[in-house]
Structures are given as structure tokens and as C-alpha cells.
């Protein structure tokens, strides 16, 4: 074989190895995926999300949380949006998803309707991609970073509540548990810490933190990693006999702004969940918290990287999925 033949063979081997390393679904995602079939899709989605945001700020955390819960179960395929039909209990009806706020679902449904109202776009854009775009837009509207998103996902063909079990992080998780769950989705500890900062917006319910402020352990009824003043404030907002549906802000300082206050709060012992505060109390993750508490821009860069990687998890392409006409139901 001549020198030219050897070179060609080398290139073929390298390309083969690259395709073996990079999943085909990821390779098919690209920022201009809809350029030829629905060139204005991003502005259509953004306009709809902006209208929804002006109606209620809950749009921000609800959409962001919906995206996360979708991607961690069966991948980013909008399977979490499917409604039960009597013959199948779906993802959204699993106990871990019952607290997903309706505003997230409503945001995607309205954006899908706006996209499909444009004749050239009708039935061309997946609910999974609309959720990705809407998530980016709510973060930007909350004064967080804006970034380009990769598109080209199909909607999933399966949604089962049983698939949710053990796939979503619990408020009581320690660092090892968090790292293991995120690593199972191809995400590093740095990605995990960045994505945890989604708790800089939104709210939780008193029932999720009752153990931390009343029954942490025999020797410490209150979690000792909690700032004492903050713990007292939480007890005032969440007395023992409180309605478990009562909601409190995840970030007590800037709850409607997507910023790095989350990390500053952790430094003060003001992480709402054990899984939040452990990021500062564990020496393995503390340095990252300190850096991002000091530099919001550094955090934004890491967050965009993590969100891009999250958006590649379990992506469906080709015959593995389709484009739903109704985000809440499988196509007939």
C-alpha cells in the first residue's frame, strides 16, 4: 500500500473511532437544525415563553425543573409530558413528579401551538426541542445567561412511571449519591454542582425539609449544617402542623433572579436541602462553590456547558422517536 493509501486508511480508522465514541444522536444535534423547515422557530418559542413569563414568574422554575426531570428519565424526549390514558401509568404520575408545576407543561404546550400555527412549521418541531428552547428562554428572562441550543431531538414513544424510580436526586442525597446519579447520565461533579444552582430560583414545600428542621437525628433535632438563624426562620414558615402544600423560596435572598446567590447562600449555611448544603460542607465540592460564589460569570460559563451536556442525554433520533402533534399524548 502506498503512502496515499496508508493515509486514507488512517483517516478511515480515526473517523470510525470518533463515531464509536460520539453517539449518533448527539452527532445529529445542531443549532441550525430547523433552518430549512421552520427558520423562525426560536423567536416563535421565545415570544410565547415571554408572554407566559409576564403572567407568572413560576414559569421559570417550572419549565427548568420539567426539563431536568424529563432528561434524567428516558433522556430528553418530552416523555414526562405524556398524560395517563387508563392503560398505562406515565412518568408524570410517579410520586417524584407529582410536584412538577403545571406552568412548565403549559409553557411548552402553548409554544408548540404557536409553532404549529405557522403553516411551514406545522408538525415539524418536536416537543422535546421546544422544551429545550423554552428552558433556555426562561433562564434568560430571569436574568441568567442566554446561550445557543442544539436541536434535532425526536419525541419519545414510551412513558412509564416505573422508569422514574431511582432516576431523580432526593433532597437528602450526599455528595457520593449525587455524583453517582449524575455520572450515570454522563455528567461530572462540576456539571452536577452547576445544575444544582437551578435552585437559585423557584420554591419547595415544607414537607421536603421537615426532617432537617425538626427530626434530623436523636442528638440534633435541627441539621447542624443549617445556619441557626435561617433554621429558625424556616421553622416559622414551616411549623410542625403546617399544610404540606405550603411553598417557600429555595433562595431566600434573590428568589426571582437566576444568579450565583445560591453559592453565596451555601457559604452561609443557607442551602434549603441537604443535597444543596452538602456541596459546601463536603471538602471535595467546596472549592467549586467558593469560586462560583465569587464569580457569577465563571458560574454562568459552567452552567451553559452543563445544560448543553444535559440536553444530549438519551436523545431520540430517526425511528427511535417521532414529532408529536400533541405534547401530552402519543400520536395515534
pLDDT for position 17 = 46
Mean pLDDT (whole number) for 23-32: 70
Nine-digit cell at 304?
451553559
pTM of the model as a whole: 0.90
d(CA 125, CA 106): 17
Nine-digit cell at 70?
424529563
Please tell me whether residues 150 and 201 are part of one structural domain: no
**Confidence band for 65, pLDDT divided at 50, 70 and 90:** very high
Higher pLDDT, 298 or 242: 298
Please tell me whether residues 73 and 189 are part of one structural domain: no
Please tell me whether residues 93 and 186 are part of one structural domain: no
Please tell me whether residues 137 and 252 are part of one structural domain: no
Residue 144 and residue 300 in contact, taking contact as beta carbons nearer than 8 Å? yes
Q: Which domain-ending residue is among 142, 163, 184?
A: 163
Known catalytic membership, residue 294 = no
Establish whether 169 is an annotated binding residue.
yes
d(CA 205, CA 250): 9
Establish whether 91 is an annotated binding residue.
yes
Establish whether 223 is an annotated binding residue.
no
Q: Which domain-ending residue is among 132, 163, 194?
A: 163
| Beta-carbon contacts of residue 238 (< 8 Å; ≥ 6 apart) | 206, 209, 210, 213, 246, 248
Residue 325 in any domain: the answer is no
Average pLDDT taken over every residue of the chain: 92
Residue 146 in any domain: the answer is yes
Residue 169 in any domain: the answer is no
Please tell me whether residues 112 and 219 are part of one structural domain: no
Residue 198 in any domain: the answer is yes
Q: Is the sign of the CA dihedral 132, 165, 313, 204 positive or negative? A: positive
Domain residues for 196? 175-310
Please tell me which residue in 69, 94, 205, 294 is annotated as part of the active site: 69
75 burial via Cβ count (<10 Å: 0-12, 13-18, 19+): buried
The lowest-confidence range among 1-15, 103-117, 243-257 is 1-15
Amino acid at each position: 500500500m502506498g503512502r496515499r493509501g496508508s493515509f486514507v486508511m488512517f483517516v478511515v480508522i480515526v473517523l470510525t473511532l470518533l463515531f464509536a465514541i460520539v453517539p449518533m444522536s448527539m452527532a445529529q444535534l445542531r443549532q441550525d437544525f430547523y433552518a430549512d423547515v421552520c427558520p423562525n422557530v426560536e423567536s416563535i418559542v421565545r415570544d410565547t415563553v415571554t408572554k407566559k413569563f409576564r403572567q407568572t414568574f413560576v414559569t421559570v422554575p417550572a419549565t427548568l425543573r420539567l426539563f431536568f426531570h424529563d432528561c434524567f428519565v428516558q433522556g430528553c424526549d418530552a416523555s414526562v409530558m405524556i398524560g395517563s390514558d387508563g392503560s398505562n401509568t406515565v412518568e408524570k404520575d410517579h410520586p417524584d413528579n407529582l410536584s412538577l408545576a403545571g406552568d412548565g407543561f403549559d409553557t411548552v404546550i402553548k409554544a408548540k401551538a404557536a409553532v404549529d400555527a405557522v403553516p411551514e412549521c406545522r408538525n415539524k418541531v418536536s416537543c422535546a426541542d421546544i422544551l429545550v428552547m423554552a428552558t433556555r428562554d426562561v433562564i434568560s428572562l430571569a436574568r441568567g445567561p442566554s446561550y445557543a441550543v442544539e436541536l434535532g431531538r425526536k419525541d419519545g414513544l414510551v412513558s412509564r412511571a416505573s422508569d422514574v424510580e431511582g432516576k431523580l436526586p432526593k433532597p437528602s442525597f450526599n455528595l457520593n449519591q449525587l455524583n453517582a446519579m449524575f455520572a450515570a447520565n454522563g455528567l461530572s461533579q462540576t456539571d452536577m454542582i452547576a445544575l444544582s444552582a437551578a435552585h437559585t430560583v423557584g420554591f419547595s414545600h415544607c414537607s421536603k425539609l421537615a426532617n432537617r428542621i425538626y427530626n434530623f437525628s436523636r442528638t440534633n433535632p435541627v441539621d447542624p449544617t443549617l445556619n441557626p438563624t435561617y433554621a429558625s426562620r424556616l421553622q416559622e414558615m414551616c411549623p410542625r402542623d403546617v399544610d404540606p402544600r405550603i411553598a417557600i423560596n429555595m433562595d431566600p435572598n434573590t428568589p426571582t433572579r437566576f444568579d450565583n446567590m445560591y453559592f453565596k447562600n451555601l457559604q452561609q449555611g443557607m442551602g434549603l436541602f441537604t443535597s444543596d448544603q452538602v456541596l459546601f460542607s463536603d471538602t471535595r465540592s467546596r472549592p467549586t462553590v467558593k469560586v462560583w460564589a465569587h464569580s457569577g460569570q465563571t458560574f454562568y460559563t459552567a452552567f451553559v456547558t452543563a445544560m448543553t451536556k444535559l440536553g444530549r442525554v438519551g436523545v431520540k433520533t430517526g425511528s427511535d422517536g417521532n414529532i408529536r402533534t400533541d405534547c401530552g399524548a402519543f400520536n395515534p
